[in-house]
Structure 1
Amino acid sequence: MASYLQTYDATPAAERWRLVRGWMHNEPWAFYAELRKDRPILVMPEVTLATRFDDCAEILRRHDVFSVALYKPKQGDYFMAQDDTAVHWREKSIMRAILDFEDIPAIRTFVASKAAELLASAGGSMEAVAGLTRAVPLALVQEWFGFEHVDPAKLCKWSYWSQIDTFWNQPFDAIAWSDPAKVIAEREAAGKEMVVYLIELVAIREGKLKLGLGGHDPVTRLLELSSSGAVKFDLRRVIENVAGLLIGAVETTSHAVVNALDFLISRPDDLAKARAAALGENTAAVDGYVFEAIRFRPAFPYFFRTCEEDAVLGRGEAYETAVPKGTTVLAVTQSGMFDPKAMSHPDEFDAGRGLGNQFHFGLGLHECLGRAIGRVMIPEIVAQSLRLSELTVGSVDRKGGPVPESWDWRWKN
């Protein structure tokens, strides 16, 4: 039987990226193992893949060489679509301050309560994506972040299309979509609806502040900061960053929760141990099972960057590879987390492994803003689900797309 690379080399150049993409989605572990061993940097006209830990880390840390230029057509001048600029420096600092680290235990308590409430009221059956894995972060956005008086379905739509277009509808993704332009149109329409709502929300919050009725939610605190004139942060920037809170919170959380649970369910022994930890309220142990499951099946198997100058990956190694300016580079972090140079016994499932040398929330300048929140929200939703008695599930339905869209559950009520 031919190896992956033998099959790849025998395939016409124009068909190779489609072939590789299929392996990345359908049989990643064996494919990446072969790449790490025999061709750690895989060069194609459409993209260049980096599969070893050190190269993934270099791509994500070297924002001066490997930029997020592909975000800009989707996110405009939002700070996450910029690299080391004054706007990025200032606004990421503001948003980190607004998302108080001290609130993390209370956020975990809120998530636990909301997830338990949704499951208890479901009567022993649920479509879990809409009913739980999206519903809990949506509740956090509404009740904790301050998105009042809006249909959660609208919030979900706005978050969904922004995520889909930004992270799954890039030029190198064109082979996966029958109509990429339709995805862009959906994101633009959703964005316009969201901005109208956010303008109204900000106006209401400003009025409350003038009446002395301000709260402590992030929207209100951002308005207080903006009105103080202490930093360059006008109302347009407030609205843009409030939108980022919504967009970043929902779909990535849902995707990670589904992947973690689905993977654990495929491993009955580990599932039983994780469930025992959840029933025993051993949060540290549950977290270990969840994030080890996500190492095997991450929501984002790679991060994409644009090479801004001629560069080299694998410098000093036998596979040292020149990367020309303009190249789209994929740091295949799902592979990097299985590199034996960075991880002991990487092919083994080890719930006590810890989070060192892992890429769950990115790395470097563009590390996820909501890392601390995701670090508790994702495993807590899983923990509440693990407590269900005699849970049986169907197949995760992605409806032909990149993210979980539907998942039917039944359990003993």
Structure 2
Amino acid sequence: MTTPTTPCPVIVGDPFDGAVLEDPLPLHAELRDAGPVAFLPEYDVYAVARYEQVRAALTDWQRLQSAAGVGLANFHTEKPWRRPSLLLEADPPHHDAPRRVLSKVLGPRALRRLREQWVADADELVDQVLARGTRFDGAVELSRAFPLRVFPDAVGLPVAGRENLLPYGDHAFNAFGPNNALVAKGAPRVKELSDWVGEQCRREVLASEGFGAEIWAAADRGDILPEQAPLIVRSLLTAGVDTTVHAISAVLHAFATHPDQWARLRDDPGLARVAFDEAVRWESPVQTFFRTTTTQVALGDVQIPQGHKVLMFLAAANRDPRRWDDPDDFDLSRDPSGHVGFGMGLHQCVGQHVARLESEVLLTALARRIESVELDGAPVRHHNNTLRAWESVPLRVRLAH
């Protein structure tokens, strides 16, 4: 067994074990209760699970870098399976220009332009689903269907092949963890999916209008290098679909198990955005990310050596009772805005407002038509080394009169 180089609690649980992926809450509580920092000998990593330390690690990019990879693999000593992301797996100064460009592309003007169309798309999808009946799988017919329709449209992707986005993203997020059975499951299709995604990032394939075209236009202006443009488009396709799909599944499951909160949303549809952020806090679709120390770093009373991986449990921080009252409750009266479900600081999710808009218009369309929603059977988890996801969320609804 590996031992920590500086004294701290040792936790033998494996966060990537199937039983833990099914129900991570007991391990998260154990890690929080152990102290500000714990050591996981299974992977020779330090772990932070309390809100204070997770937030500190997320915002200290100088001493806890992303450029060595935000997964278990250390890019300084191991070759990445694909070219690193210019946003997620880079630090200043290399991170700066791509971030500026993407922040502008996905900014308020873009969202205002998209809102009207996405409202119409949400109304159309909900009408189609309810026309088939009042019992349906929310994860399949809503959570996957809506983002896979509107987001690739906004990027400017062709319609053909969009079914490749979810398995590609699933493997990308699995690859942040250890080389376990989940990674092996996706390995046979890695080249096929990577080649397809790479092809979609080419200027010639993308529509003349959309996020992708705007990224290439930034290259034409000299805001980024031409060779950076396809990698920035790839970041959209990697991180912009799976996370939103699973976040919408999370909020649908939350409402199906908290009928009083659905009633609150019906009374006040303006709570749709609060509901989405509260679901992201409560469920944390992105459970974990790694950083690597560039120097010796003190977190709590533990000195973490230089060159060591630190595993940040975003989900555990989002239910830390030191930060949140009644953290295990899904509650629309809460202000969830401090959650770390989208990260924090310089690497905070650049597309979070796009995800919020997708969820808002879909929830608003549902709230107008549905009086109540409940589970129609046992939901089924989808396991991923990084993501908290639902494979199936069977729902039964009663229509509003």
TM-score interval, smaller chain: 0.7 to 0.9
Which secondary structure does the structure 1 equivalent of 2:87 belong to? helix
Corresponding residue for residue 216 of structure 2: 223
Structure 2: distance between partners of 1:33 and 1:50: 12
* Residues 309 and 53 of structure 1: CA distance in aligned 2, closer, same or farther (over 3 Å): same
* Aligned mate of 2:379, from 396, 403, 408: 396
Corresponding residue for residue 7 of structure 2: none
Aligned residues between the structures: 371
Structure 1: distance between partners of 2:342 and 2:51: 15
* Preserved contact between residue 64 and residue 83 of structure 1 (Cα < 8 Å): no
* Preserved contact between residue 297 and residue 334 of structure 1 (Cα < 8 Å): yes
Q: Which runs of 5+ in 2 are unaligned?
A: 1-9
- CA RMSD in angstroms comes to 3.0
Structure 2: distance between partners of 1:59 and 1:156: 35
Structure 1: distance between partners of 2:382 and 2:320: 32
TM-score by length of structure 1 reads: 0.79
1:189 and 2:192 equivalent?
yes
* Aligned mate of 1:293, from 274, 279, 286: 279
* Residues 224 and 343 of structure 1: CA distance in aligned 2, closer, same or farther (over 3 Å): same
Which secondary structure does the structure 2 equivalent of 1:203 belong to? coil
Q: Which runs of 5+ in 1 are unaligned?
A: 1-12, 209-213, 315-319
The one-letter amino acid paired with 1:223 is W
CA deviations over 1:199-253 (Å, ceiling 9, x no partner):
3xx2266xx9xxxxx54x222323333234x33421x322222222222221111
Q: Going by fraction, where is helix more abundant, 1 or 2? A: 1
* Aligned mate of 1:240, from 231, 236, 260: 231
* Preserved contact between residue 21 and residue 383 of structure 2 (Cα < 8 Å): no
Alignment of 1:101-140 (within 5 A): 101-122=108-129, 123-124=132-133, 125-140=135-150
* Preserved contact between residue 295 and residue 358 of structure 1 (Cα < 8 Å): yes
CA deviations over 1:294-338 (Å, ceiling 9, x no partner):
322110122222233332210xxxxx1122234332222222233
Identity of aligned residues (%): 21
The one-letter amino acid paired with 1:59 is A
Structure 2: distance between partners of 1:23 and 1:379: 32
CA deviations over 1:10-39 (Å, ceiling 9, x no partner):
xxx9x9233785675455455544543443
* Aligned mate of 2:172, from 166, 173, 177: 166
Structure 1: distance between partners of 2:20 and 2:173: 16
TM-score by length of structure 2 reads: 0.81
Structure 1: distance between partners of 2:138 and 2:329: 29
* Preserved contact between residue 215 and residue 229 of structure 2 (Cα < 8 Å): yes
Corresponding residue for residue 38 of structure 2: 42
Corresponding residue for residue 3 of structure 1: none
* Aligned mate of 1:143, from 153, 156, 179: 153
CA drift at 1:55: 0.6
Structure 1: distance between partners of 2:148 and 2:16: 35
Alignment of 1:3-402 (within 5 A): 16-18=12-14, 25-29=21-25, 31-45=27-41, 46=43, 47-68=45-66, 69-71=68-70, 73-122=80-129, 123-124=132-133, 125-148=135-158, 150-151=159-160, 154-157=161-164, 159-172=165-178, 174=179, 177-178=180-181, 180-199=183-202, 202-203=203-204, 215=209, 217-228=210-221, 230-234=222-226, 236-277=227-268, 282-283=269-270, 285-314=271-300, 320-344=301-325, 346-386=327-367, 387-392=369-374, 393-401=376-384
The one-letter amino acid paired with 1:398 is R
Structure 1: distance between partners of 2:232 and 2:15: 38
The one-letter amino acid paired with 1:253 is T
* Residues 189 and 89 of structure 1: CA distance in aligned 2, closer, same or farther (over 3 Å): same
Structure 2: distance between partners of 1:29 and 1:204: 43
